[in-house]
Chain A
Amino acid sequence: MSRYSPRARLTNSSTTSTVANWFGNQFVDVPPLSSYESIATATGTGSSTTISFSSIPSGFKHLQIRGIGRSDGVSTSLTKLLLRFNSDSGTNYSWHYLLGDGGTASALGGASATSIELREGLIRASMLANTMSAYLVDILDAFSSSKNKTVRAFTGIEENDTNTASRITITSGLWMNTNAITSIDLVSFSGNLSTSTTFALYGIKEA
């Protein structure tokens, strides 16, 4: 399909139209389209707690992980998804989050941790069927050799109040290491990552 071919039909209450060329219409916070590239996609096996991206190419400025996840752990309570870089499991991470559970907003943090924790961020097998946690994780200046690495994450679980476990969370994380990131591990704290779990890694270039 040509990039300039209409891909979807648009209707609104006052007009019905098919738009053929809208490439000049860029919005704030949307990267130039050619600067955002897919690097790799990984899926859960159902027999491992971990999904890894390795040998990450360095031709980008920032990285983004997008995905959906579910633990096969048998429980009606949430677990957490952990982030580690370059196989570092030392106490070189910190994190804090702001969380909404549908009733209250709360905040929590951790220092000198062994991972960046996406707390209450992974739905488990005994909870609402066919329902996934969702993740948007940005790793800023991921290939710098002089800066520690800062992460921001936007995660959510919505399960129609089946187990009073719906959560919306924004998290900031830090890896206290100035090395360029070459690998990323996403680890379920409890239970294996289900076969419906999928994470995609993207790279964002600079000019």
Chain B
Amino acid sequence: MAAGATYEPIATTTLSGASTWTFSSIPGTYTDLIAIVVVTSTTGNSFHWRFNGDTGNSYSYTVLEGNGSAASSARSSSDTNINIYSGVGTANPSMFRTHIMSYAGSTNKTVLSEAANDKNGSGIVNRLVGLWRNTSAITSITGTTFAGTLTGTATLYGIKAA
């Protein structure tokens, strides 16, 4: 059995009216990464992830969501980012957790993401799978809003395997 902690915080940042933030110089010593974002938005718009500063058409994603009355699914191919695909609360915080699997491995990078955005009568719950078609190790992660700014916290965790 592995000794010591296997689920470790790597970095956290307080977002105060931020439209973009970056975790950089991520060490390659973990197996998976988990980004947790708890925020409110000035406009209610979604945000997206990019890796290693890549702004090319290297991303795709598929989402499954429920909006309180129906379940649906949508997707995007050859996109310039992985859209977290949920609005963000303007009054109450929304929560997003993104698992970046085998981020330092030699395959394309798959992420699993969860969104919880409840607005007392409306809102979204979703699950999302995303792909970055690149076999390089992820060393930086950038979150960017589609509009407006975010206030709250963003934390990056690392998980080690035996």
Chain A residues in the interface with B (C-beta under 8 A): 1, 3, 6-15, 17, 19, 22-23, 25, 27-31, 33-34, 36-41, 57, 66-68, 98-105, 128, 130-134, 136, 154-161, 166-170, 196, 198, 200, 202
Contact = CB atoms under 8 A, between A and B. Distances in A.
B62 A8 contact: no
A134 B129 contact: yes
A57 B2 CA distance: 12
B5 A12 contact: no
Interface in B108-162: 108, 110-112, 114, 127-131, 133, 135, 149, 153, 155-162
Given A3-B5, A66-B159, A166 B23 contact: no
B91 interface: no
Contact of A39 (B99, B105, B114, B162): B162
A71 to B, nearest CB: 14
A171 to B, nearest CB: 11
Given A7-B27, A39-B1, A29 B97 contact: yes
Contacts of A36: 5-7, 159
B75 A17 contact: no
Contact of B161 (A3, A22, A38): A38
A136 B34 CA distance: 12
Contacts of B157: 30
A166 B9 contact: no
B6 A38 contact: yes
Contacts of B99: 66, 134, 136
B36 A12 contact: no
A29 to B, nearest CB: 7
24 contacts: A8-B10, A10-B24, A11-B21, A13-B17, A25-B155, A28-B95, A33-B9, A37-B2, A38-B6, A66-B159, A68-B102, A99-B64, A99-B73, A100-B63, A101-B73, A103-B73, A128-B108, A131-B107, A132-B102, A156-B127, A156-B128, A158-B129, A159-B60, A170-B127
A145 B98 CA distance: 34
Nearest to A6: B11
Contacts, number: 220
B8 A154 contact: no
Interface string B12-26: 110111111111111
Contact of A130 (B15, B107, B153, B159): B107
Given A11-B22, A105-B64, A134-B101, A160 B73 contact: no
B72 to A, nearest CB: 6
Contacts of B65: 100
B152 to A, nearest CB: 10
Contacts of B101: 66-68, 132, 134
B107 A9 contact: no
Contact of A23 (B1, B9, B127): B9
B150 to A, nearest CB: 9
Pairs of residues from A and B, 6 with the lowest C-beta to C-beta distance, nearest first: A156-B129, A100-B73, A100-B64, A102-B75, A12-B21, A158-B131
Contact of B22 (A10, A38, A39): A10
Contacts of A66: 31-32, 99, 101, 159, 161
Contacts of B20: 12-13
A30 to B, nearest CB: 7
Nearest to A41: B161
